[in-house]
Structure 1
Amino acid sequence: MKLRHQLDVTRLRKNEIAIFWLGQAGFIIKDYDENIVVIDPYLTDCGERIRGFKRLTPKLLSPGELEPDIYITTHIHFDHFDFDAVPIVSSCPWTKFFGPQTCVDKYLELGIKKERVSLLGCGTEITEKNIMIKAVFADHGRLAPEAIGILLNINGIKLYFSGDTAYRPEMIKDVIDFAPDIAILSVNGKFGNLNSEEGAKLASDIGAKIAIPCHYWMFKEHGGDPQLFEEEMKKHSPQCLTKFMCQGEMFRYSL
């Protein structure tokens, strides 16, 4: 079943969400109210055009098919802010765009009207479509000093997206206090990101019920070992369920 059709036909209960992995750090969430939230979708081959990073995994959805209500980017790197996809996605008139200052600047430069764009600085909390969105600390170093993580509260279901970050347990009080049900963690261990052991420790630190690893296998340059992550989870966070997703798979979660 094609992903767009799957999104259209999926019906959810009030206390339930559906999560789809697009590959890399890209995820789609659908809720009971038919809202579509997308975070860091990489939908094109712009990385090969810009940096020579060849895509090794299939494209599941074209930018024009996406039509989200909420489009969030955690920082300006091409595999999170898809420079070729954003202008096409913006043709959907109801889509609202969110991100840190560098992403906001690029949204506006690409011609998106400012009333459709919202700034997510660290600590900023916004409610859109009855979904709470909060930007939290991430440390992507000099590569992207403005990078953020994301907290979402969707009808009481709480999700944490680490974005690209190093392991900084002393800086995650907001996430610990949030007590996420699901933690989606970039664990490729290169370019300043969490490695498998650090991702497992972070899942334990924040008390997540479920951990979903990501940010691996899209590009040969990025590394990542999901088997090693599972082994580290058994050591450091055995109380947390590790959920491995294939691209395009739907994972239903309910309270």
Structure 2
Amino acid sequence: MTAAGRFYAVLLSVGLPIWVFAQGMPADLLPSRQILAEIRAHEDGVAVWWTGHNGWLIKAGGVLLGTDLVLEAADRIQRSPVTTAELAGELDISFVTHEHGDHFNNKVSRELARSSDCMFVVPQNCVAKARELGIPEDRIRVAVPGEPFEIQGVRVLPIRALHGHKQFSLHSKANFEDCGYLITIGGKTFLQPGDSILLQDHLELENVDVLFFSPTEHNMHIRQSVILINELEPDYILPQHRDTYRQTPENRYWANGYPVEVRTHLSRTLQERYHILEQGECLLVK
């Protein structure tokens, strides 16, 4: 664990949320583990890196994909473990779950559109934004919940996502075109629900090897996260949507996650599969 990680652990152990610390932070971002060389060097098996928030990089069989990448946001706590410019020469597919800027980021997407050849998988309601950001039509793959497809050898099943809000409510502008993704790459299946409350669609999924989930007030929080984990029993359980943005009382409902609290409600077997990664940390999926 890095020094920053140990510091965050101390904050959590005494019940002090990270946003209290972040409010008084200097403008300089805390460092994070840099991963470009590791991404380039990875050849065998399936590797996962957390880049912060809902941002994951997954590499297998020479294909590198990312989900909801937000790398240079000014209000991050830590510097991103990889820059968009560095990633541009490596990334093959960029998955977007919905249009919010902490998921479909303007700066990241413009740079990838200009400097990379990656494909963008986006919901129908994000197509107009994709065009505005300069993403060419032939690099846009529209995802529709319930309609599977394959892209660069990666099997994808888009699933429904319904965005939550404060006090565990459903967002007044929740959109049925928003997506989560069931992604199969390198023989392993990953579930990225996006920003969503718990749905029947999630509970009926089978054979999920790796679960990304968001234990925030506006997503699945603690109870619904535990229900999902117990139902799916994935081999790897990875909390996201946490410890990335400087928190304020106004954004805490979406910027603060409860990964430690979720873990305490799981069986010992599931706790052994539970990994609270630091930004830039790599996990090999076996």
User: TM-score, normalized by length of structure 2?
Assistant: 0.77
Asked if residue 75 in structure 1 is aligned to residue 105 in structure 2, the reply is: no
Where 1:84 maps in the other structure, the secondary structure is helix
Q: CA deviation at 1:232?
A: 2.0
Q: Does 1:55 align with 2:76?
A: yes
Distance across 1 between alignment mates of 2:194 and 2:272: 20
1:225 and 2:248 matched: no
Task: State, as a whole percentage, how many aligned pairs show the same letter.
Answer: 22
Structure 2 CA distance, aligned partners of 1:239 and 1:213? 12
1:127 counterpart = 2:150: yes
What is residue 19 of structure 2 aligned with on the other side?
none
- 1:225 deviates by 2.1
Distance apart, 1:240 and its partner CA = 7.0
Opposite residue 228 of structure 1, the aligned amino acid is E
Q: CA deviation at 1:5?
A: 1.1
Q: CA deviation at 1:104?
A: 1.9
Distance 1:182 1:227 in 2: 18
Paired residue secondary structure (2:114): coil
**Matching residue of 1:22:** 51
Tell me, yes or no, if structure 1 residue 65 matches structure 2 residue 94.
no
Deviation of 1:101 (Å): 1.6
Report SS of the residue matched to 1:90: helix
Residue of 199, 202, 227 corresponding to 1:172: 202
Match of 2:63 among 35, 58, 67: 35
Shift of 1:239: 7.6
Shift of 1:172: 2.8
Q: Deviations over 1:10-30 (max 9, x none)?
A: 221xxx210000011100001
CA shift digits 1:82-139 (9 cap, x unpaired):
1111110112442100110222221112221111101101112221111101210211
Greater Cα offset, 17-26 or 196-205: 196-205
Query: Larger Rg: 1 or 2?
Result: 2
1:251 aligns with 2:277: no
1:161 aligns with 2:221: no
Query: Following the alignment from structure 1 to structure 2, what is the Cα–Cα distance between the partners of residues 241 and 143?
Result: 35
Distance of aligned partners of 1:239 and 1:84 in 2 relative to their CA distance in 1, 3 Å threshold = closer
For 2:81 and 2:183, locate their aligned partners in 1 and report how far apart those are by CA, in whole Å.
Answer: 24
Q: Is the 8 A contact 1:104 1:118 kept in 2?
A: no
1:4 is matched with: 36
| Aligned counterpart in structure 2 of residue 115 of structure 1, from 123, 135, 138 | 138
Q: Is contact 2:72–2:79 with CA below 8 Å preserved after alignment?
A: no
Show CA shifts across 1:138-163 (max 9, x none): 11133441321111111321111111
Task: Give the structure with the larger strand fraction.
Answer: 1
**Is the Cα–Cα contact under 8 Å of residues 24 and 218 in structure 1 kept in the other structure?**
yes
Deviation string, structure 1 residues 21-42 (Cα, Å, up to 9, x no partner)? 00111000010x2111000011
Spell out the pairing of 1:140-159 with structure 2 (5 A cutoff). Answer: 140=163, 141-145=171-175, 146-159=177-190
Q: What residue in structure 2 maps to residue 198 of structure 1?
A: 224
1:64 positional shift = 1.3
Structure 2 gaps, min length 5: 1-32, 164-170
Q: CA RMSD in A?
A: 1.9
* 8 A Cα contact 1:44 1:82, kept in partner: no
